[in-house]
Amino acid sequence: MQFMLLFSRQGKLRLQKWYVAHPDKLKKKITRELITTILARKPKMCSFLEWKDVKIVYKRYASLYFCCAIEQDANELLTLEIIHRYVELLDKYFGSVCELDIIFNFEKAYFILDELLLGGEIQETSKKNVLKAIAAQDLLQEVSYGDTPVEL
């Protein structure tokens, strides 16, 4: 996977994870173009889009679009499953997740993604293990230094 973007129905970026090195300017350009292209597609169309030299796989969950760019020979259907797994994890962690949870706790959304994928490849197929690792790290934040957990 080359990158993953989360954006809202209104076209606002909610999360971006890049596994390829691009200058900031190019990242912004890609993001902008993709958001416009995907938002223009009708709901009944398929979830795949051939775009430049990558394949875009996207899916809408409520008000949020989850969008991944994968290599030409990657399994598109599996990417949909990865997106779904990520949504399930967010759901479990936040307790029926909504867009606001991801806005106000964007760092948590990144942390969860980083326990599911690493370098753009799936690293853990057990939901339980991902959530266990996140919970343990959250706890470590609380107790790590004396009595002063830092609230962000």
Partner 1 sequence: MNSSDHGFNPAFNMAAIKQVFNEAVERVRMPTPMRLRDLIRQIRAARTATEEREVINKECAYIRSTFREEDSAWRCRNVAKLLYIHMLGYPAHFGQLECLKLIASPRFTDKRIGYLGAMLLLDERQDVHLLITNCLKNDLNSSTQFVVGLALCTLGAIASPEMSRDLAAEVERLMKSPNAYIRKKAALCAYRIVLKVPELMEIFLPATRSLLSEKNHGVLITGVTLITEMCEHSPDTLQHFKKNFSVVLGKGKKSSFKECSQEEIVPNLVRILKNLILAGYSPEHDVSGVSDPFLQVKILRLLRILGRNDAEASEAMNDILAQVATNTETSKNVGNTILYETVLSIMDIKSESGLRVLAVNILGRFLLNNDKNIRYVALNTLLKTVHLDTSAVQRHRTTILECLKDPDVSIRRRALELSFALINSNNVRIMMKELLLFLERSDPEFKAQCSSSIVLAAERYAPNKRWHLDTLLRVLIAAGNYVRDDVVSSTIQLISESVAEQGYVAAQLWRALEQDTCDRQPLTQVATWSIGEYGDTLLYGDVSVGDDPSDIVKVTEEEILDVYQRLLWSPQNSVVTKQYTLLSLTKLSTRFRTNVERIRQMVQQFGSHLHIELQQRGVEFTQLFNSHAHLRPALLERMPPMEVVRRDNGAQQQAQHSAVNGVLDIADVNTDESAINNDSNALLVLLGGSEGVIDTEADQANAKPPASIPSSTDNQDLMDLLGNLDIGSTAPVAVNNMNMNNNVHSTNNNNPLLLDPLGSLGSLSTPTQPLSALTSINPSSDTNCIVAYEKNGLRIMFTLEHGDSPTSISITMAAYNETSMPISEFLFQVAVPKTFQLQMMSPSGTTISSSGSVTQVLRIQNPNKGALRMRMRISYNSGGANVQDQAELNHFPTDWYQ
Catalog residues that contact partner 1 under the rule CB under 8 A. 13-19, 21-24, 28, 42, 44-50, 75-78, 80-82, 85, 103-104, 106-107, 110-111, 114, 118-119, 121-129, 133, 136-137, 140-141, 144-152
Judged by beta carbon, residue 62 or residue 103, the one nearer partner 1 is 103
- For 34-93, give the DSSP string: HHHHHHHS-TTS-SEEEETTEEEEEEEETTEEEEEEE-TTS-HHHHHHHHHHHHHHHHHH
Minimum CB distance to partner 1, residue 92 (Å): 13
Minimum CB distance to partner 1, residue 124 (Å): 4
Minimum CB distance to partner 1, residue 75 (Å): 6
Record the tokens describing residue 83, joined without a space: 């997106």
What distance in Å separates the CA atoms of residue 7 and residue 10, rounded to the nearest whole number?
8
Minimum CB distance to partner 1, residue 101 (Å): 12
Residue type for 148, please?
Answer: T
Judged by beta carbon, residue 40 or residue 96, the one nearer partner 1 is 40
Q: How many CB atoms lie within 10 A of CB 82?
A: 20
